[in-house]
Structure 1
Amino acid sequence: MKVDLVLPCLNEAAALPWVLNRLPSGVRAIVVDNGSTDDSVAIALKHGATVVHCELKGYGAACHAGLEASTAPIVAFLDADASLDPRQLVRVIAPIEAGSADLMLGRRKPVSRRAWPWHLRLANAELARRIRRRTGLTLRDLGPMRAARRQALLDLGIIDRRSGYPLETVVRASDAGWRIAEVDVDYLPRSGRSKVTGTPLGAARAVRDMSKVLAT
């Protein structure tokens, strides 16, 4: 396989079949179970995915466990909740393969209002503004679909293990002089409630984690 796809997973049994059945050719799925109590692990195995168990709770912990378990030269990341179409991974992978970018991000374009509530869009816009102020990058989204070369990602030394992980990836990559770009991808209504921002407490924690990253 030329690309390993890391899928952080916490109780995504309903969404996993759709996600795993839509992988592009040459992409291997690494489902990182972060303490699921449903049939997520069994479903992942049934669909041919590699399963990694991550006991440390947190989105970043799951992402990094998948990165460490990967072996392909390019690693991509995607939520396992069916909010993004794996078939569109080629949009973020191709520039990495071609050597025209070092980190590619999928900019979410909602297909309906239900896909992305207004308060989360507003929070994302504010985050993009703060990223621009911190790094100078003109990014319009910090979505969960992204890709880069495996060893380069490991060399960044990312330490956040919660919801600040994607942001720290961008900040450290920018500080290292990486070429960072984004491309539009469809954003679909997710299956179930977000594990990161699906509750007021989760949203508050995400803001706290990202604020810590931007303060460094």
Structure 2
Amino acid sequence: MIEARVDLVLPCLDEEQALPWVLDRVPAWCRAIVVDNGSSDRSAELARERGALVVAEPRRGYGAAVARGLAAVRAPLVAFCDADASLDPAELARLIVAVERGDADLVLGRRRPTTRGAWPAHARFANRVLAARVARRSGVRLHDLGPLRVARTDALRALDVRDRRSGYPLELVLRAAAAGWRIRELDVSYAPRAGRSKVTGTVRGTVTAVADMSRVFAEVAR
């Protein structure tokens, strides 16, 4: 039995196809916060129907949605997960335990594809290149900067991560490493998402994300 109170932030943009499955898999000890990032479908309505707290962030961008969700967190631990059904919130328990026991300050879910089509080759390659750059810059050896992560709320807010686009996960890791955080990876299953990805599902989206992260590398180094 996990005693920690946890808020789970779910950035969301037009995910009505996936949200019911995702929210039904959120553990009972976890409060879901769905951040509506300008959806044109019934995502927000479906989230409310399933008991999630829904907050709006009209400014488009992953980092903007995550920051808005973090502002709404009240629990001592915060978790983040995509709302596209590629990741199972039920797997959060192992990540939560690692932070609760003091084994790590930041736990990242290392994505393990369940099928060949779950993670496009161009996205896997970009992720490997990014992980290698993180290792050279920070000394932290990671395999994945995936979207499933857990940390203590107050500590994460104190990092003051500023990126509001695709560079947020990278800036978080770089700032955490600079602050001396213990960063750990745990394997999680990664399935094909429901619907089309706004980022890694297209080459253009991946190129945009890489450009955002290159900018973050330059800015954090200042």
TM class, shorter-chain normalised? Answer: over 0.9
Name the residue aligned to 1:18: 21
Is residue 111 of structure 1 aligned with residue 109 of structure 2?
A: no
Code of the residue aligned with 1:194 in structure 2: it is S
Name the residue aligned to 2:61: 58
Aligned residues: 216
Per-residue deviation, residues 128-151 of structure 1 (Å, max 9, x unmatched): 101101111110001000000001
Is residue 134 of structure 1 aligned with residue 137 of structure 2?
A: yes
Give TM-score scaled by structure 1 length.
Answer: 0.98
SS of alignment partner, residue 57 of structure 1: coil
Matches of 1:137 and 1:47, distance apart in 2: 38
Name the residue aligned to 1:203: 206
Is residue 90 of structure 1 aligned with residue 96 of structure 2?
A: no
The root-mean-square deviation of aligned C-alpha atoms, in Å, is: 1.0
Name the residue aligned to 1:71: 74
Match among 179, 186, 189 for residue 182 of structure 2: 179
Name the residue aligned to 1:121: 124
- Whether the 8 Å contact between 2:105 and 2:182 is mirrored in structure 1 is yes
Matches of 1:184 and 1:133, distance apart in 2: 23
Match among 136, 139, 151 for residue 154 of structure 2: 151
Matches of 1:97 and 1:161, distance apart in 2: 28
Code of the residue aligned with 1:72 in structure 2: it is A
Structure 1 runs, 4 residues or longer, greater than 3 Å off: none
* CA positional deviation for 1:201: 2.9
SS of alignment partner, residue 108 of structure 2: strand
SS of alignment partner, residue 114 of structure 1: coil
- Whether the 8 Å contact between 2:19 and 2:43 is mirrored in structure 1 is yes
* CA positional deviation for 1:120: 1.1
Name the residue aligned to 1:163: 166
- Whether the 8 Å contact between 2:122 and 2:203 is mirrored in structure 1 is no
Name the residue aligned to 2:33: 30
* CA positional deviation for 1:200: 3.2
Matches of 1:108 and 1:204, distance apart in 2: 20
Per-residue deviation, residues 89-123 of structure 1 (Å, max 9, x unmatched): 11211111112210000000001101011121111
Matches of 2:143 and 2:94, distance apart in 1: 17
SS of alignment partner, residue 8 of structure 2: strand
* CA positional deviation for 1:25: 2.6
Matches of 2:186 and 2:28, distance apart in 1: 20
In the alignment, structure 1 segments of 5+ residues that lack a partner are none
Matches of 2:21 and 2:130, distance apart in 1: 30
Matches of 2:165 and 2:137, distance apart in 1: 20
In the alignment, structure 2 segments of 5+ residues that lack a partner are none
